[in-house]
């Protein structure tokens, strides 16, 4: 599933084609994805201007001139692809429709934005912009890891006394929003913290080091366009490249890259998800 860097990369890719532009027409080609679409979604989107395109956790939020916000979640395999962009940043010609093109935005500037989702685990909903943060998909989310409200004192307090493994704590979207399996593995590796260590038993100084490391990992991944694993593509159809710099994720059996360690990356399963780490230098 795309994590924060992938979703942020898609948002940035969509901005030139959508932000400040009217949706001339919206085609909704099925009644649902993971959940039913809102009533009259095509009518409510057609003619609306996209005033702002932002991100909250793993969701893209399109604030519309109608006073509503379109909430988009890519799910496991959802892709937003742009064609015909007049700025010349993407493909000039519109491709033939594909089987899993479920929602299509025909923009007034000539661009076409297509939401394609083969597995249909994605989602879209409309909510009043003034209260979108109270929507059931967003209301329990913790702070953004790249925002000012995610800081060392905050993380120390949220992890204090927790008996869950640190890996599970950082994946808890109520503690910090947007982190997923890949980037938690990478951050814990750089911090030298084992994914199985109880969150409440990690010293305060070590917890504090996690905040800048998490920011660093996410920023590097965004700069690289995310990590292309299985279905993920950027909005222009290109692959992300952060997977080529993985230090631990998906490197089971390979040498640890920490200088002087000499250990080997191991894989364990935690709550049904693979954790990759070095048992020698992550304590």
**Could you confirm whether 273 is annotated as catalytic?**
yes
What is the Cα–Cα distance from 167 to 199, expressed in whole angstroms? 8
For this structure, is 58 an active site residue? yes
Q: Which two tokens stand for residue 193?
A: 């913290």
Dihedral over Cα of 212, 213, 218, 219: its sign: positive
Residue 103 DSSP SS3: strand
Which of the residues 44, 273, 279, 280 is marked catalytic? 273
Q: Which of 2, 145, 165, 195 is catalytic?
A: 2
**Residue whose C-alpha is closest to residue 27's, from 83, 135, 105:** 105
d(CA 97, CA 77): 17
Is 3 catalytic? The answer is yes
277: left (phi over 0), alpha (psi -120 to 50) or beta: beta
Single out the catalytic residue among 58, 79, 167, 251. Answer: 58
Burial of 144 from C-beta contacts in 10 A (0-12 / 13-18 / 19+): middle
Which residues are catalytic, by number? 2-3, 58, 273
């Amino acid at each position: 599933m795309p994590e924060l860097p992938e979703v942020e990369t898609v948002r940035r890719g969509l901005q030139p084609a959508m932000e400040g532009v009217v949706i001339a027409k919206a085609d909704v080609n099925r009644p649902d994805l993971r959940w039913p679409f809102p009533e009259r979604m095509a009518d409510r989107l057609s003619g609306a201007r996209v005033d702002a395109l932002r991100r909250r956790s793993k969701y893209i939020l399109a604030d519309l001139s109608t006073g509503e916000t379109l909430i988009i979640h890519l799910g496991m395999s959802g892709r937003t692809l742009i064609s015909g962009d007049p700025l010349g940043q993407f493909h000039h010609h519109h491709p033939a429709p594909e089987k899993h093109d479920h929602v299509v935005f025909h923009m007034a500037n000539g661009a076409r934005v297509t939401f394609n989702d083969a597995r249909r685990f994605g989602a879209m909903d409309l909510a009043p912009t003034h209260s979108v943060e109270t929507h059931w998909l967003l209301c329990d989310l913790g702070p953004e890891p790249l925002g000012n409200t995610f800081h060392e004192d905050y993380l120390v307090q949220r992890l204090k006394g927790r008996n869950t493994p640190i890996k599970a704590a950082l994946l808890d979207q109520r503690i910090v929003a947007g982190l997923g399996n890949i980037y938690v593995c990478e951050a814990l590796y750089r911090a030298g913290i084992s994914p199985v260590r109880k969150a409440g038993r990690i010293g305060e100084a070590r917890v504090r080091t996690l905040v800048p490391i998490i920011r660093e990992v996410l920023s590097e991944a965004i700069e690289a366009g995310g990590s292309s694993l299985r279905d993920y593509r950027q909005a222009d159809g290109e692959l992300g490249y952060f997977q080529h710099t993985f230090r631990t994720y998906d490197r089971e059996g390979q040498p640890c890259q920490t200088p002087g360690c000499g250990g080997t990356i191991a894989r364990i399963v935690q709550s049904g998800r693979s954790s990759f780490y070095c048992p020698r230098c992550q304590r």
